[in-house]
Structure 1
Amino acid sequence: MIDYVIKRGSQMIIVVLLALTAVFFLVRLAGDPTALFLPADASREQIEEYRHLLGFDRPLLIQYTEFMTNAIQGDFGQSLRTSEDALQMILARLPATFQLAFTALGLSLVVAIPIGIITAYKKNSLLDYLGVSMTVLGQAIPSFWLGLILIFIFAAHLKWVPSGGGGSTVHLVLPAVTLAAYSIARFARFTRSTMADVLRKDYIRTARSSGIPVSRILFRYAFKNTLIPIITLVALDLGVLLGGAVITEVVFAWPGIGKLLMQALLNRDFPVVMAGVFFVAMIYCLINFLVDVLYAYVNPQIRFK
């Protein structure tokens, strides 16, 4: 187990460093952002002086070396627009992102898994066709369009909930539903597919012929053997959600990491972008590690190597 943790820890470090390296050079393709942070009438001398102050006049490889040296120590610099610590800005948005992501994920699982199990059991019935149609529709609808429709109906017309912002549970309703819609459709469809395969197994037929109640067969025997692929899918979705559901956060003005990163990209605020990439990469790596550990508890045949 210790050897496995060391091995995965080394892999995580490499992945994070590679992600930072790739994004560092990609954001530089947008050009020098110096002029964006000075008045329109700034002289050439003032622009060059500010470029030198920010370090953008140095060779790119030197900038990269200095950045990685500081990043390893947890220093991503200050925001070019607000002069705040970049990593602290990301961490300040963390509670809002956690709140939205876990609410959407919980809603997805509560709704999708029963739909997937029932439609798999009632395969080729009217209920199954209805469920499959809903999952296809849920995956096809763009999240920004769904968000705007929900705002129009429930915020603008019915006035049941606010149209955006954060601060209370009622502000969470529309963005959580919008963010969960795609995951509900995907989880339900995936659960149906894996459950349908398991329900064709011989041991399930034996359990049915033995007179075991259907609910016990579905949830104790069949569903348990679909958990590993479902856990993998949930982990991937959780990584995306915690990384920042950019479109949803922008549509609803939700004060999370996704909205902050979108603003930083538009403003070419490189330190904030890099701090956000670091956080997202770490989240993905940690989730994958925890999922691998969880596999061993779900399936005792799995051993760490």
Structure 2
Amino acid sequence: MLDFVIKRVIQVGIVVLLALTVVFFLIRLSGDPTPLFLPPDAPREQIDEYRSKLGFDRPLLVQYGEFMKNAVQGDFGNSLRSKEDALGMVLQRLPATFQLAISALVLSLLISIPLGVLSAFKRNSIFDRIAVALTVIGQAIPSFWFGLLLIFIFAAQLKVLPSGGGGSIVHMILPTLTLAAYSIARFTRFTRSTMLDVLRKDFIRTAKASGVPTPRLIARYALKNSLIPIITLVALDLGTLLGGAVITEVVFSWPGIGRLLLQSLLNRDFPIVLAGVFIIALIYAVINFVADLLYAFVNPQIRVR
């Protein structure tokens, strides 16, 4: 078991390292950010001096080596614009992103599991066909378009909900619905598929023939045996929700990591971008790591892979 854990820890480190490396070189392709932080009429000598102060005049590989040396110590430098600690700024926004992602996950489960169970139990009925159609639409609609649609309906037309911002539960409603839409569709289809497999099992037929009431048959026998793969998908989907929150936060001006990253990209504030990518990659990798440990605990055969 110890060897398995060590291998997974090494894999987490490699994933985070690769994510930082790719983003480091990609953002450097956007050009030199130095002129953005100086007056438009700044002389060439001042620009060169400021570029040298930031270290952007050195070869790219040298910059990369210096960055990685500091990054492994948790030092991503200071924001080029505000001069604040980049990692600290990202960590300040992390609770808001977690709040949105977890709210979306809870909402997804509350809607998708009952919907998937009923859809499977009423297979080929009108209810099932409508549910399947809605899940297809839910997975096909871009989240930013759906968010704008919700703003148009509930904020611009009905004027019952705010169009953006943060600070209260009311402000969370629209961004939570937007972020949860894809997960609701995905979880519903997965729950339906898993339930259909369980409903075909012999023990379900036996329980039904024995006169077990339908609610008990679903809750105690069918759903209980369908939860393991569902829980697995939910654990992995939390990382996806954290990453997908970027677009939703921008649409609704939610004060999370996603909005901060976009603003930093537009401003070419490289330290904040890299610190944000580090946090998101680390969270996603740790979630997968925990899922792997749970798999190994449940099924010891996985440890030898």
- Is 2:78 the partner of 1:78? yes
Q: Distance in 1 between matches of 2:49 and 2:255?
A: 34
Residue aligning to 1:115: 115
SS of the aligned residue for 1:235 comes to: helix
User: CA, structure 1 residues 300+214, in 2 after alignment: closer, same or farther (shift >3 Å)?
Assistant: farther
Residue aligning to 2:292: 292
Per-residue CA deviations over 1:185-220 (Å, capped at 9, x if unaligned) read 111011111211221122222222222232333233
**CA-atom RMSD in angstroms:** 1.8
Q: Distance in 2 between matches of 1:244 and 1:90?
A: 16
Deviation, 1:244, is 5.2
Q: Distance in 2 between matches of 1:251 and 1:91?
A: 21
Residue aligning to 1:213: 213
Q: Distance in 2 between matches of 1:128 and 1:173?
A: 27
Residues 108 and 183 in structure 1, CA contact (< 8 A), matched pair in contact too: yes
Residues 236 and 291 in structure 2, CA contact (< 8 A), matched pair in contact too: no
- Is 2:160 the partner of 1:160? yes
Residues 242 and 280 in structure 2, CA contact (< 8 A), matched pair in contact too: yes
Q: Distance in 2 between matches of 1:154 and 1:54?
A: 46
Number of aligned residues: 304
Residues 295 and 302 in structure 2, CA contact (< 8 A), matched pair in contact too: no
- Is 2:10 the partner of 1:3? no
Residue aligning to 1:271: 271
Residue aligning to 1:175: 175
Task: State percent identity of aligned pairs.
Answer: 70
Identify which range, 236-245 or 34-43, moves more after superposition.
236-245
Residues 243 and 257 in structure 1, CA contact (< 8 A), matched pair in contact too: no
Residue aligning to 1:68: 68
Residue aligning to 1:248: 248
Deviation, 1:300, is 5.8
Residues 135 and 186 in structure 2, CA contact (< 8 A), matched pair in contact too: yes
Residues 231 and 291 in structure 1, CA contact (< 8 A), matched pair in contact too: no
Residue aligning to 2:201: 201
**Structure 2 gaps, min length 5:** none
Q: Distance in 1 between matches of 2:240 and 2:285?
A: 12
Q: Under a length normalisation based on structure 2, what TM-score does the superposition of the two structures give?
A: 0.94
Matches within 5 A, 1:114-133: 114-133=114-133
User: CA, structure 1 residues 289+125, in 2 after alignment: closer, same or farther (shift >3 Å)?
Assistant: same
Identify which range, 152-161 or 68-77, moves more after superposition.
152-161
Per-residue CA deviations over 1:113-148 (Å, capped at 9, x if unaligned) read 110011011100111011111111212222222212
Residue aligning to 2:87: 87
Q: Which amino acid aligns with 2:222?
A: A
Residues 244 and 257 in structure 1, CA contact (< 8 A), matched pair in contact too: no
Instruction: After the TM superposition, list the runs of 4 or more consecutive aligned residues in structure 1 that deviate by more than 6 angstroms.
Output: none
SS of the aligned residue for 1:93 comes to: helix
Q: Distance in 1 between matches of 2:244 and 2:264?
A: 13
Q: Which amino acid aligns with 1:116?
A: G
Deviation, 1:303, is 5.8
- Is 2:26 the partner of 1:26? yes
Deviation, 1:302, is 6.0
Residues 103 and 176 in structure 2, CA contact (< 8 A), matched pair in contact too: yes
Q: Distance in 1 between matches of 2:90 and 2:283?
A: 13
Residues 243 and 280 in structure 2, CA contact (< 8 A), matched pair in contact too: yes
Deviation, 1:24, is 1.0
